[in-house]
Homo-oligomer: A and B are copies of this chain.
């Protein structure tokens, strides 16, 4: 049941057409671990924050049964701060401020206690750092990795190197196309799977996600929401639900991976309904299962032949 999550913890300032939130909890590791905490516990968190990181947010993470013993707190630097502004359609965003602060010197050392982690979730980080993490895990059963266009453009060799050690890559459609120089996502997927990952998930934002395994393709819809308040962290929340379900069930069959994708989508749909992490701070199993059942209504159809 041991899930290790590594990534950024941040204080985000977010502007959307619906409002503005200042220095709210953000970062990939925050969303991933909170989302995963509904499925498996304790989630092992590795990351770094600054001296200004609110104590109550550390308490919040603990309250979700997240093991924060791997959370480094810099005494000299502030927490990673990102200020982003979303366009009216919420599909494009502009980074107004990116202050790495403490995160710039992040050099993840995995404690003895965490080295036996079976499931590893590498949030979006420089691939060289991601590689360093993998090297410290004794016998991972599944390594999941997220990345972004920034690394495809600026650290391609490191990225290609880490992909050889990754079992499950989560990437968005534009990144998949950029990485492979292929527009067709099915062809892009095959090319990426030749780079290493046996399992690939291509996220398509409002159009859902595609899961590719060696012998199947699965298409999960996004939940059609009338009001998306803040898409920040949607992809990380997806990854958290996905990996949380996998760590809970320890089942890597295609059927179970499909279900993991639906749980990831379920969590992401709940996250974007509120600002920052608020959509997934306090959820009951009933709330999660209610949304999960909406996904069934959204995709299931009766079977009747011609």
Contacts and interface: CB of A to CB of B under 8 A. Distances in A.
A219 interface: yes
A193 to B, nearest CB: 13
Number of copies of chain A assembled together? 2
B303 A296 contact: yes
Interface of A: 38-39, 88-89, 183-187, 190, 204, 206-208, 210, 216-219, 221, 224-228, 249, 255-256, 258-259, 261-263, 285, 288-289, 292, 296-306
Chain A at the B interface: SS class:
mixed
A236 B31 CA distance: 43
The 8 closest A-B pairs by CB, nearest first: A219-B221, A207-B207, A89-B183, A258-B301, A186-B226, A299-B299, A186-B224, A285-B306
A259 B301 contact: yes
A89 B288 CA distance: 38
Contacts of A296: 303
Contact of A218 (B208, B255, B262, B301): B301
Contacts of A249: 304
Given A218-B298, A298-B218, A301-B258, A185 B306 contact: no
A302 B255 contact: yes
A288 B288 CA distance: 36
Most chain B beta-carbon neighbours within 10 Å: one of A38, A187, A300:
A300
Nearest to A299: B299
Contact of A259 (B208, B292, B302): B302
Contacts of A216: 297
Given A262-B301, A289-B306, A306-B39, A217 B224 contact: yes
A119 B214 CA distance: 43
B259 A304 contact: yes
Contacts of A263: 306
20 contacts: A89-B183, A185-B206, A186-B225, A207-B207, A217-B224, A217-B298, A218-B297, A218-B298, A218-B299, A218-B301, A219-B299, A249-B304, A255-B301, A256-B302, A258-B302, A262-B301, A285-B306, A292-B306, A299-B299, A300-B300
B301 A288 contact: no
